Every structure is written in C-alpha cells, then in structure tokens.
Structure 1
C-alpha cells in the first residue's frame, strides 16, 4: 500500500488528457516515445502484426493500466498499443515519471511490480492460445476480464461491459471471426454466458472457471478482488 504522500505525488503528476476513438494507435512498434499512457476509461490492446498484415493481440488494457510503462527503459518499442473502444487517456512524460520515481522508491517498486504482472499475463495468454481449445480459451479470457474489471470497480454481480468485437476477439485468440461467432453461440446455448449489446453476464461463474481452467494467481490481485 502506498502512503498518502506517495498517492498525492501520483495524483499531482502533470497529465495531458485526450479522448481517442476506437481502432486508433496510441504507439506503434518501432516508436521511441517520450511519454506513457494511463488508461482512464475504455479498452486498449497490445499487439503485433505479421508482414501479411495479420494482427495478434497479446493483452487487453483496462482503466488504471499503463500499457506502455516499459517505454521508460526501452528506447524503441517492440509492440504496438491501440484502442479497442473509445478511450479516455492521460499522457505522462517520461521525465515526470522518472522524477517521481527518484523521489519515491516505493512508487518505483510499484511500477516494477506492474510490469512483472504484465509479463505474467503474457505468459498465461501464451498457454491459453497455444494449448487450450477455442471454447476453453474464450472462457478463460471472459474469466480474466471479469476479475480484472471487478478489481477496479467496473464489474458487479458477474456482469460487466466489454466493448470488444468478435473480430478483435479473433485477433486475441488466433481464430477466425466465424469460429469465434460459432463458439460464442455454443457458450450461450450451454448457459455459460449471456451477451446483450456490449454487456456480458456470466450465469454460472464456477462452471465458466472450470471450462476455462482459470486460476487467477497470475493476476496477483488482493484476495477480496478474487472473491466470486
């Protein structure tokens, strides 16, 4: 837990606010940014693209995340970050972040912890995409998103808003949109999920966790955030 002084130092960081439309790049692979992006609302994704133009989404960012925090120490980014929905973001310069880290070592440790959790999520996604069947990998991601959104107060009663298209899910799962659509229909028929517009509701949380082989340890959240 941060002290009041540490929290105040973070709250007082100069920030340039912006509203970005969906499907808009925040930073691109090969960029050398001089600032980091704090997500205030909406969904982003970290991704890479093949020479043929096929996109692989490797993680999804939500409110409170700083998905390009590694740019503080890496001169050139090796991935891109884009919006999946309309996003409200705050840009903080590297100089301001370094200054607050120099003054408050515990904030530096907190940032370091966040990058380690990002790496843990990448590892889990690698397992999910490489070794689970489509039905199970989609169930796993729904579990992850619900737990993460609950931790920041954006989910309740096993329901949350998830403004992500089937095409974007396909890019995250290494599937075609047609395959994603087929699996979602089957999950609805099986009573695992209900989707109304962008609203996701999970009628049977324990069953969805079992299908997705979901163990939230890799998210390293407080125990109360993991409660069903």
Structure 2
C-alpha cells in the first residue's frame, strides 16, 4: 500500500537531519516517497542472506540488527538499528544481500522501492549526497566496531558500545538524561562483540559494581557518563552528528 502521509516517514527525516540539513522541498520529497508498511514480530528476518531485493527497508519503530550465520550455527551481529535507519541502503546499488537483516523487537518497517529511491536521488542531488553521507557514517561505525573487537578489553568494548547506542538514540529524540532503550539480550551483546555469554555477564556485573551503568527492564541507565566515556576512550567524531554531545 502506498502512503503519502507527511508524518509516516518522519523517522527517516529526523535521522537524515541528525547528520545533515534538509530544505523544506527535500523534506516534502522524502515524505512523498511511496512505501509499503509492514509490522514484524520480534526475531523475524526482514531480508535474508542471498536474497535479491528491489526495495530498501526503513525502520519506523522498534529495533533491528544485521547478522550472518557461520558454520555450526554461529552468529555474528554486525550492527544494531533504530527508528530512522535504512540498514540495507547499499542494496540500492548492490541488490544481492550478503548478510541478513532481522528484527530484535517488534518493529514497523517501511519498504521503499529502489526505483523510487533512485528517482529521489536523481531529482534531488543534495539528498543523494545526504544518503551517501549516511552510508559513509555507517562505514565509520563498522571501523569502530573492528577497532573494539581487535584492540579493546571486554570492559572498554561494552562501554564504547553503550556510549554509541545512547548517542545515536539521543540524536533522533529516542533517549535523554543518560537513559535509553537497550532491548538486546546478553547473547546478542556477545554475538556483536565476540564475547561468550559468561564473559558479557561478568563484564556487565563489573560495570554495575563500578557505578557506571544500570540495566533494568530493557533500559540502559548511565550513572556516570564521564567515567563511561573515559573507560571506552570514546570520541564520537565517527558518528558525525550535527550537534556533537562529546568532545
């Protein structure tokens, strides 16, 4: 079903405006994109590794994650996604999926035809540049995850991830006062960081004991923001937010 609601695609506009500026004409062009909306239950695949796709997935509500299944059923999580993210934006130019995208929570997803996205970028070159910028920011996040995986301790790694997830949500109005949703399980955190469940649990207990965080009812409460930043050696430059919170 196509929709022209000026509010339906607001999460996409909010996300893009967190990293760049949009004109009124550009906002209207985004709002006017034809979409098909579907609600997915928690832990459902949206697209699978090997699929050839003809549309992009925009998260309107809820959480999603990108992952790949390796031999023996081992899972590697590549990224977590919130409302406003278009996790498979590269499929606009590389339609054969080389990983899977699934919901972490119940999620509302808008499917935007590739043809409509291409028309948008042809008609509005500045929007094409903003979408390209979003893809480059995504690549920067991948680099930070690689640095964490290879060189940071478990404690520093989780601290860095929590800083990142908080700031990403704060930038689009989903978090504030050092409190944000955190719906992933310890198994999810382990598959994203390369740690065992036991190691994740032990590290979270240590962080709680040090007074840095509280995890309760799928909510992250950061009790000592400056100390968390120091533990993570966190610099938010790689997020390229328009209004930087750190540094």
Instruction: Give the structure 2 partner of residue 107 of structure 1.
Output: 127
Corresponding position: 1:96 with 2:116: yes
Instruction: Give the structure 2 partner of residue 54 of structure 1.
Output: 74
8 Å contact kept, 2:67–2:76? yes
2:41 to 21, 34, 43: 21
Instruction: Give the structure 2 partner of residue 65 of structure 1.
Output: 85
- In structure 2, how many angstroms separate the alpha carbons of the residues matched to 1:75 and 1:11? 24
TM-score (norm 1): 0.96
- In structure 2, how many angstroms separate the alpha carbons of the residues matched to 1:130 and 1:28? 27
User: Can you list the C-alpha shifts for 1:57-113, whole angstroms capped at 9, x where unaligned?
Assistant: 111111111000000001312121111111111110101111111111111111111
Corresponding position: 1:164 with 2:168: no
1:32 to 34, 47, 52: 52
- In structure 2, how many angstroms separate the alpha carbons of the residues matched to 1:136 and 1:94? 39
TM-score (norm 2): 0.89
2:157 to 137, 145, 158: 137
1:196 to 196, 206, 216: 216
Where in structure 1 are there 5+ consecutive unaligned residues? none
| Pairs aligned (count) | 227
Matches within 5 A, 1:166-181: 166-181=186-201
Shift of 1:227: 5.0
2:65 to 15, 31, 45: 45
What is the SS of the residue equivalent to 1:52? helix
- In structure 1, how many angstroms separate the alpha carbons of the residues matched to 2:142 and 2:42? 23
User: Can you list the C-alpha shifts for 1:140-179, whole angstroms capped at 9, x where unaligned?
Assistant: 0000000000000011110011111111111101111121
Structure 1 runs, 4 residues or longer, greater than 3 Å off = none
What is the SS of the residue equivalent to 1:157? coil
Where in structure 2 are there 5+ consecutive unaligned residues? 1-20
Instruction: Give the structure 2 partner of residue 76 of structure 1.
Output: 96
